[in-house]
Chains A and B, each alone.
Chain A
Amino acid sequence: MNRLVLTPRVVQVAALNPIRKTLSTAVWQHALNVPEDKQAQSKEGQVDVKKALEKPTWSVSSLLPPKDQKNTPKVSSKQLHHLLRLSALPPPKTDEEESKLLSTLSSHLHFVQEIQKVDTSGVEPLRSLRDETIAGQKDAELGLDALSEALEQEEIRGKHHKRIRRRKDFVENEKLDWDPLAAAGKKVGRYFVIEGGKEGT
């Protein structure tokens, strides 16, 4: 159960949004900021790899609550159940399991709060690793060229009353090359079937 709670998704749940900040480059710059005097550089300017890795300058554990400190859950039982339901995870079966979950969750929260201390104002979040150079963005840009094929599939209808219309004759009626229902646990005809329990969510 603990392992399940530790999935990144639940970390997000616990963070209730500041995930963007935790992912920001600023965090890692901050965390990995190695002071000048500790730099393992020889006089020739060569990096002595072995020396550099000898002594850790920082540990994730500095972001976790001290072991001896009693964890006071900042999350109520009700909130826990709400979060589990939102994440489609099963509720705890016993009180013991629940208090364990709460304890893990609050150490997650501690971690996130530590990370939130980093000043990220004015820093764009790193959403994913992409080419962010001007040339890279230009490559990703969808302009007239990229849309030329789609524009060719349109026509102007009417001699007097001119209207733009997408031509339907371009839509190739290709057959599906796989059966979406093949892995269905339950189906009727060409439908997936869900036993919904109570109405909606």
Chain B
Amino acid sequence: MEPEMEGIRKLRRFIQLRHVETLSSCANNTAINHDLHFPPASKMNTHALRSAPLTMLRACSSAAARTPRLCILDKWLHSRGLMTDPTGTNKDSPQAVPLRKHLKEEAKKKKALARASGGQTRGKKAIDPRLEEWELTVGIEIHAELNTAKKLFSSALADDGAVDLESAPNSRVAAFDAALPGAQPLFQAATLLPAVRGALVLGCEIQRVSGWDRKHYFHWDQPNGYQITQYYRPFAVNGSLTLTAADGVPEEDLTGGQELQIGIKQVQMEQDTAKTINVAGSRYQIDLNRAGLPLIEIITLPHIHSPQTAAAVVRKIQTLLRATDVCVRGMEHGGLRADVNVSVRRRGSTGPGAGYGGVQGLGQRTEIKNLSSFKAVEDAIIAERNRQINVLEAGGVVEGETRGWTLGASETTRLRGKEGEVDYRYMPDPDLGPLVIGHDLVEFLRSGMPELPDETVARVEREYGLSTKDAKTIVALDDGDRLEYMEEVVELLTERVSTFDKARAGKLAANWILHELGGLLTSQSDGIPSNWTDVNVNPAELADLLAALAHKEVTARAAKQLLGMLQDDDIRTTSETFSVEQLIDEHGLRLRPLTDKGYLELAQAIVEANPDMVAAVRDKGQKGKVMWFVGQMVRQGEEGTVEPEKARKVVEGLLLE
């Protein structure tokens, strides 16, 4: 989330620059210092900033409007040391516009691809005529690492990645994990908490009795020569997952409805394998820390009919597992991995594939193993779907085989076919008794389920008046801590400001917590972005600050300065007592409102000094430029004296009436 916000900030800054540049070129080379363009986007004028450039561009003569765009991009890149010689003679420099080059190459690739597939573009609107004819069917198996203290069958510590990333290789290994002769598995009951919660959140029925099988294969990631799994006797069955358009399901898949149900065939517990690192040639290093970690494997029914929905399923499952503390490491950290089963058949026809989970008549399926990102899931399915259609249209036969996919590839590659298929020789593990899960435990966990992310987002929208986007952002950030912080601020703020209801306080608090406080975290003076845990400002202080702002004791600009002080480590450690009130007084930031006369005089001075801008507003009707004057007033007026809203009224009075 943080990088995304950083991106938004950059974009906003870019738009500001472009805005100013356009202004200056329209206003016939009025010299404007690049550092002076805009007041830091305050709450009030952000909206104006966002919408301004478009109207500006339209208002300018077309020639003037078109050329500056390049020129500004150029300057912008240049100012950040990103742009090399614009004539392109300096191509070998390592600084050579990597992003631009990358985008160009991407576009080229896509064009070539579109040409190759018969001139279709991959745009959203362009529907591949072949997809009208062929139906895609996908089922997914997701392996999720359970959040537990111990391994599945030994008391060795499970490295959950959160505490001790640096733990030495082969330091969390019990005799059983290393398959020492005579070592016996001992089921660790605590692993049931995340496992059962994970199954419940996917709507599964928990089986009172389930069992353990050995799945045999010899590979160096598996010291025992078998993996203990529950494929034939899983502890949870018959679940379902509900998806909506908001989860990223394309409209075609919803077929007119509001939501889509994806059946979950079963959820089983099993062991993870050791980590193997290929060091050179055929030499591998083995770390058994991961061997025997508890996983759940979630198997969906073949109810998925588009690559986007497949990615949405995996994303949704990850979100649900995280919200219930089942799984703490996401796909990006290898805590979640997906295998997909893909088949195609002509719409309305019956394929030769074997039935699966009660679904018959599908095409022959292939399995693509070990996908480790949402994008990989989507792209691998697209590539495999296209490959299978090509094979079938050319009169060929799709083989039942296992295939692989690497990110960025345009095709899946064959790993092994049927004749090389491993026969796992499943057998019940005689060392382990059946797993018997008590009804009381299941009911206890069911009744104690936390609020799920969709419910939280809906509640935040409803109670605090946030937009869906902001609500989603704040819910997703910092493992829910940021939302907790916001709710605390809102509670305190409604106590402090009598005119604020929850929604008004919510919107203000969310804006400051997401954007202002979030901004402080990403732009630390040492250049290292901080985490949410580095926030020094406590909810009471932020509530005090926002109350002062609401009571018009400080300007928004001063409030931002104060927020910076509240967050500053040095100021906090040197000040003995620390309150927002004190800071306001110490730094003379209390709003001393200008008299109406003061506003008028300040505005007049600026108007007189900038006849060109005045002409732009008065004669050309560029009303958006009023905000430029407002910016000037805030900057030129004494600190803490000019309120932008009021300044705007005065400027409008002077220029437009």
Contacts and interface: CB of A to CB of B under 8 A. Distances in A.
Contacts of A170: 149
Contacts of A159: 484, 487-488
Given A161-B483, A163-B325, A127 B284 contact: no
Interface string A183-194: 000001111111
B422 interface: yes
Nearest to A201: B219
Interface in A148-194: 149-151, 153-154, 157-166, 168, 170-171, 173-174, 176, 178, 180-181, 188-194
Given A137-B436, A196-B284, A201-B217, A189 B487 contact: no
Nearest to B420: A82
A129 to B, nearest CB: 9
Interface in B424-458: 425-428, 430-441, 444, 448, 450-451, 456
Interface string B261-292: 00000000000000011110011111110000
A125 interface: yes
Contacts of B288: 180, 192
Contact of B170 (A144, A180, A194): A180
Given A161-B480, A190-B168, A194-B286, A166 B149 contact: yes
Interface stretch (A15-23, A42-50, A67-75, A105-113): A15-23
Contact of B175 (A17, A150, A178, A181): A178
B441 A144 contact: yes
Contacts of B423: 16, 86
B193 A150 contact: yes
A60 to B, nearest CB: 22
Interface in B399-438: 422-423, 425-428, 430-438
B324 interface: yes
Contacts of B481: 157-158
Contacts of B279: 188
A128 interface: yes
A61 to B, nearest CB: 26
Contacts, number: 174
A82 to B, nearest CB: 8
A197 B282 contact: yes
B71 interface: no
B356 interface: no
Contacts of B171: 176, 190
Contacts of B334: none
B441 A142 contact: yes
Contacts of A141: 436-438
A200 B206 CA distance: 36
Contacts of A162: 450-451
A186 to B, nearest CB: 9
Contact of B425 (A86, A143, A153, A193): A86
Contacts of A157: 480-481, 484
Interface in B159-178: 160, 162-163, 168-173, 175, 177-178
Contacts of B456: 161
B7 interface: no
A151 B194 CA distance: 11
A148 B450 CA distance: 19
Interface residues of B, number: 75
A117 interface: no
Nearest to B430: A128
A123 interface: no
A158 B190 CA distance: 23
A180 B427 contact: no
A53 interface: no
A16 B438 contact: no
A22 to B, nearest CB: 11
B306 interface: no
A198 interface: yes
A120 interface: no
A194 B168 contact: no
A95 interface: no
Contact of B422 (A86, A147, A197, A198): A86
A13 B438 contact: no
Interface string A82-98: 00001110000000000
A191 B287 contact: yes
A160 B483 CA distance: 9
B325 A142 contact: no
Interface string B579-610: 00000000000000000000000000000000
A158 B480 contact: yes
A143 B441 contact: yes
A20 to B, nearest CB: 7
A140 B434 contact: yes
A127 B283 contact: no
A193 B286 contact: yes
Contact of A153 (B149, B219, B283, B428): B149
B621 interface: no
B147 interface: yes
B293 to A, nearest CB: 14
A13 B423 CA distance: 9
Contacts of A160: 483-484, 487-488, 491
B225 interface: yes
Contacts of B543: none
Contact of A180 (B149, B173, B193, B278): B173
A189 B177 CA distance: 19
B274 to A, nearest CB: 9
Interface string B123-166: 00000000000000000000000011100000001001011000
A138 B382 CA distance: 50
Contacts of B204: none
B425 A13 contact: yes
Interface string A8-49: 000011001101100000000000000000000000000000
A189 B162 CA distance: 24
Nearest to A78: B419
Contacts of B220: 194, 196
B189 interface: yes
B421 to A, nearest CB: 10
Given A86-B423, A147-B189, A201-B218, A163 B480 contact: yes
Contacts of B219: 200-201
Contact of A193 (B172, B178, B225, B284): B284
Given A12-B427, A20-B428, A165 B437 contact: no
B613 interface: no
B484 A143 contact: no
Interface in B166-204: 168-173, 175, 177-178, 189-190, 192-194, 197
Given A140-B433, A142-B192, A194-B220, 7 more contacts: A127-B434, A144-B440, A144-B441, A150-B190, A166-B147, A170-B149, A194-B285
16 contacts: A16-B425, A19-B427, A127-B430, A128-B431, A141-B436, A150-B192, A151-B193, A153-B190, A160-B484, A161-B487, A163-B480, A176-B171, A180-B170, A194-B285, A194-B286, A196-B220
